[in-house]
Structure 1
Amino acid sequence: MRLAPASAATNRSPRSDSRRFRSPATASTASGSSRKRNGWPPASRAPPRRPLSVTLPAAIRSALSLGLALKRLFDRAIPSSEDDAPTTDLVRRAQEARRVGRRDEAATLFRQVLQTHRNHRGALRGLRDLAAETGRWPDALDAQKRIIGAVGSTERSPETEWLAVIYYELGRVELGHSNPGGALAHFRNAVRTDRSFLPAALALGDACETLGDHREALRVWERAAEVAPALPLLARLERAYRQDGRPSRMIALYREAIDRAPDDLALAVALGRVFLELEMLDEAADQFEKVEVRAPGLPAIHALLGAVFERRGETREAFEEYRRALQLGHAFDWPHRCDVCAAPAPTWQDRCAHCQRWNTLRPVRM
């Protein structure tokens, strides 16, 4: 009887069976051992992957947050510029209303501009000018302070000049109410704001004198003369030195000013006038004749030369000089001219009568 052939399982060796049923840990160890034997580097383990259910909500939250931020950005109203069409039209209409004298309408339109552009410089300047034209100086001061806060450094100088003007006019209002003490504070503010603003320096010294502080008045005028030796300042200082019995200081005052401005004939004439007042007739005549060579048509020179000849007892010469002075007109005044509009004025004034600007009149250069 033939025996049945042995099965593969029957013929498999016990060693083969042990490989088949080897545990995973053993297999891994064996594989590692095999790699070491074959010279291969050990395999690196990949980081464990997070479940999709964990990562998806975080991504959605980030996307939603970004979307909401973008929505807020694009939904926000973009502020219009100061020169957009509606604003420009309002300013134009306001300026036209002001030009034809409709001040209330102009003020209303300027305020409409400020409702959307709080620091619109054109509208603020318009309100300031309207307030100045009608003498409402407290309103002008409020507008001007806002202007100074809105402008850049390049525009600051003319705006500080305007601020000095407003303080000066506020002081004049107080003087009109017989309140020199109240005026004093405004004049001081004007001088602090703009040291070259001559009307305020003159008015501040005058107010000090009115209050009986002669020494402070003198200090105010002397400090202002250090900035600019203007004729009205020098005239007040001359008067103060005369009252104090200091004739040598009167002469030194004008000589120092002439050293600073040697081409200013008005100062040369003023020095000659001081010589005349002090009965220094030869010095006075010499001073006036030097000026006459450079400005033969100047009325003040002939009037003052006439006074010199009269005091010398030279009646004929005095009469001739007086006659020439009277023919020219404004004999004892030095003519002035506005730096802005070139309008002439017979004497210095705090404000040009033609263009209405402050602190613009200067002695005419011959």
Structure 2
Amino acid sequence: MQRVIIFAPLKKIIIAMVSFVIFLFLITILIVGFTGRKTNITDPKNTVPKFGISSDSINIDSQDGDNLKIKLYMTKENKVVELSLEEYVRGVVSAEMPLNFGIEALKAQAIAARTYALAHTKQFGGAQIKEHNGADLCDTTHCQVYMSKEERMNSLDEKQRDEYWKKVTQAVNETIGQVLTYNGKLVMEPYYFSTSGGKTEDAEAVFGSGQPYLKSVKSDGDKESPRYTTVEKYTYTELANKINEQFPKAALSSKKLKSQISIKGYNEGGTVKELKIGNITISGRQFREMLGLKSANFTFSFNTKTVDITCKGFGHDVGMSQWGAGAMAKQGSKCDEILTHYYQGVKIESYKSVK
């Protein structure tokens, strides 16, 4: 084997160069943080901005980072406006969550709303909807309810305005940039709703498909909601006509209605899985949507003159119950405990722009 001889001066230079490279590498880790290999979490074809995942942060490329914008379709004005992400989140938190709830519930709402916004933004893989006129989201329950500060404050008692807006601002500022992730990827379906009937529902049972973080869990405290129980009354003729209009094959008779309607099964969270109406069987969700009921957790009472349909809860029952979150915050739970309860197996991670 031939021996390679390195002269002393040259050897010192090589050692110095290697030491300098190692020094730069260590400084980079200390300043920026080691995020590992960059991974696109929403689009395998790499057509949208990439996230770099680390144990405690999501790094958005510098062209997005601190200047993230949301294109929002304002339905009443029939126009599209552009808002910063955090301004948008403030408007959603103030509109979606009762502002007398504890700060930890509002913080949980802020994180869920921010996650939902990114998941439905075109640049991060969300599909734009024709009715949005080129916007990422709209300001109604179709997406997330958004209200400007002025609009929301005008709906409150003058004595509460400063206190409640400070609370909204605190909730957003203390969670700024935080989103939900599952297995290192942005949660694309961070659903939430007003009030459960005591348990949330498995997404697959409600929507026909679902994510592993959207499972049925207990939701104590929802009984405090003014929408926990609602009753809709119909005459026998009214109910038979409404059902026959939507489902002609049911062929219901107002005189035989009591024997023609029966619930055949329930989902884990208590919502109606399916029911028989005359000659056909439909899902509880279909029945709820047909009549515009507050939830699919319902029962029938066949009285002398009316059929009473009693609903427990308000909303689709999937994901975080807002009133349940309010109750947890009241009992001392932190926002991370609230979110990891309602979204099973998720993590709360922060994004920051990469300089």
Report the TM-score, using the length of structure 2 for normalisation.
0.25
Report the TM-score, using the length of structure 1 for normalisation.
0.24
Structure with more of its chain in helix, by fraction:
1
Structure with more of its chain in strand, by fraction:
2
Greater relative contact order (Cα < 8 A, sep 6+): 2
